[in-house]
Structure 1
Amino acid sequence: MVADDAAVPTRVTRSLPLAFAAGAAVGVLGGMIGLGGAEFRLPLLISLFGFAALAAVILNKAMSLIVVLTALPARLAAVPLAELGAHWTVAANLLAGSLLGAWTGASWAVRMRSATLYKVLAALMVLMAAALVLTHTTTLGALALPGLAQAIAGVAAGFGIGVVAAIMGVAGGELLIPAIVLLYSIDIKTAGSLSLVVSLPTMLVAFARYSRDGSFAVLGANLRFVAAMVAGSITGALLGGVLLGVIPDLMLIPVLAIVLLISAIKMARHV
């Protein structure tokens, strides 16, 4: 099923240099805060490049998947696989919820009316802004839940994050990292790597669900555009990583949160 105006023309002329530049800007922002930045890419796909909501989500998901696949080897070099293996139960706990959440979220997205999807995306961007501020401006402590309660909370958190990541077309690290820190008392560096381990199969499930919908054709019709924007995102992420810490979080994070809130307002008003 295709949302009202989710499909775009099969061939649309869009500037590849502009796509690269926009991807680079997103990559720099993400790299400077240690995330992928896909939440900033989504409003650009809609407002700057003119994609309808569902088409933008599918493109964002494809790009996020490529960026995560590119980032995973670098993260494994920083946090060895053996160290991550010690926390396999954490990944399994979250995946028990996130895989189902990803399928569910993608199913909801393809069935929503376009006007509804814009409003849902706007609300989720407000959530992302709040998560961004919380993660980067406060010290997260562990909840210290007993075993069964922790497992139930992990599945519930994974499901919710899977739904959000699928509907927005993002990796979900903005939500996964604080969830891992809060629920499992894991340091934020290891949590960042674990979030990629969880998000990769979660994204693949959402991607598989979107591939069953007619709107998935937008990806094949815009492969050069996607390649240019992904190349820009990866280039920007490398530059952003170099700039990590140059601008203090207390200055950078509020600005980025405001950008997300403004984007949310514009998206909510989208007709």
Structure 2
Amino acid sequence: MKNQKPLHALLTGAPIGCLGGLIGLGGAEFRLPVLIGLFKYSAHQAVSLNLAVSLITLLSSLIFRIPSSPLAKLLPLLPVILALIAGGMGGAYIGALYTQKISEHALEKVILVLLLFIGLLLIGEFFYPLVTGGVQAPLPVLILIALAFGTGIGMVSSLLGIAGGELIIPTLIFVFGVDIKLAGTAGILISLPTVITGLGRHYAYGAFKQKKDFTELVLPMGIGSIIGAFIGGLLIFYVSGGLLKLILGVILIISAVKIFTKNQTSQQG
């Protein structure tokens, strides 16, 4: 198994990276069960390693998505994006501080409800499209709203080792009225500083002591993620925004079910 670990990391990283390139996610919600179940890492180790691979996935996804969503289109959203980034970095810092202190089961219940709600909302939007321009408010109010959402998302990102795109993209769509394809690219830009902040705090608290984890897992899984992100970036030209909403909604609900199943198994054990 040890010699096959890099190969397994490469093969599991590719499909997860494809989702990242297609939708604008780091894919961490699927990677976390793989790290714990297949590679037998502890929850805390998995969170830290998950952030490291998410960083690689997000960087490659951004590069491959730029042709379909040029960064120039994001200029009107710049104040909101910067506010979400600022809030996300602050939240990631706070989340890393309390990773060891907050009850994992309590947090999982909150995330379960949140993922189910947003997932059902996105699926409903696919079948019954809503015409929404987001919250109508003066720019200072929108910035405050973005700071609040960014802080919450950043905390969840750092606590669970996810990039936060699962929450950032629906926030951009429903709160700020952003098109889903553009929201995917904006979500990556917002996630990157949050993930970097979370990684820095986890490193400061003693994570990443085993250097072989980088050569046997992070690097090959990162390479697989890059390959998958390239494929996903190509597919974005052929997948409609409505279908992306359906895919994202299903992903969120599956993630919620995985969290619920894991929670039930832990309680029974």
TM-score under structure 2 length normalisation: 0.81
User: Is contact 1:121-1:167 (8 Å) kept?
Assistant: no
**1:179 is aligned to 2:171:** yes
Distance 1:86 1:242, change over 3 A: closer
**What is residue 44 of structure 1 aligned with on the other side?**
34
Alpha-carbon shift at residue 156 of structure 1 (Å): 0.7
Distance in 2 separating the partners of 1:38 and 1:65: 10
What is the identity, as a one-letter code, of the residue corresponding to 1:229?
M
**Per-residue CA shift, 1:124-163, capped at 9, x if unaligned?**
3553354344335414621223444322211110101111
Alpha-carbon shift at residue 92 of structure 1 (Å): 1.7
Distance in 1 separating the partners of 2:168 and 2:218: 25
User: Is contact 1:97-1:157 (8 Å) kept?
Assistant: yes
1:201 to 193, 209, 216: 193
User: Is contact 1:28-1:239 (8 Å) kept?
Assistant: yes
**1:109 is aligned to 2:99:** yes
Distance 1:44 1:79, change over 3 A: same
Distance in 1 separating the partners of 2:87 and 2:8: 38
Distance in 2 separating the partners of 1:101 and 1:60: 18
User: Is contact 2:74-2:182 (8 Å) kept?
Assistant: yes
Distance 1:50 1:13, change over 3 A: farther
User: Is contact 1:66-1:230 (8 Å) kept?
Assistant: yes
**Per-residue CA shift, 1:58-103, capped at 9, x if unaligned?**
0000000111111222233323233323322111221231111010
1:22 to 6, 9, 12: 12
User: Is contact 1:39-1:128 (8 Å) kept?
Assistant: no
**What is residue 64 of structure 2 aligned with on the other side?**
74
How many correspondences in the alignment? 256
Distance in 1 separating the partners of 2:167 and 2:18: 20
SS across alignment from 1:109: coil
Structure 2, unmatched stretches of 5+, are none
**1:120 is aligned to 2:107:** yes
Alpha-carbon shift at residue 255 of structure 1 (Å): 5.6
1:131 to 111, 118, 142: 118
1:264 to 253, 259, 263: 259
**What is residue 189 of structure 1 aligned with on the other side?**
181
Structure 1, unmatched stretches of 5+, are 1-11
**1:61 is aligned to 2:51:** yes
Q: What's the Cα RMSD here?
A: 2.9
Alpha-carbon shift at residue 41 of structure 1 (Å): 0.5
Alpha-carbon shift at residue 57 of structure 1 (Å): 0.4
TM-score under structure 1 length normalisation: 0.80
Distance in 1 separating the partners of 2:171 and 2:99: 24
Distance 1:33 1:177, change over 3 A: closer
User: Is contact 2:47-2:160 (8 Å) kept?
Assistant: yes
What is the identity, as a one-letter code, of the residue corresponding to 2:107?
V
Segment of structure 1 superposing worse, 227-236 or 61-70: 227-236
**What is residue 73 of structure 2 aligned with on the other side?**
83
Alpha-carbon shift at residue 104 of structure 1 (Å): 0.6
Distance 1:261 1:151, change over 3 A: closer
Alpha-carbon shift at residue 55 of structure 1 (Å): 0.5
1:161 to 150, 153, 158: 153
1:210 to 179, 202, 209: 202
Distance in 2 separating the partners of 1:251 and 1:184: 19
Distance 1:257 1:161, change over 3 A: closer
Distance in 2 separating the partners of 1:254 and 1:135: 5
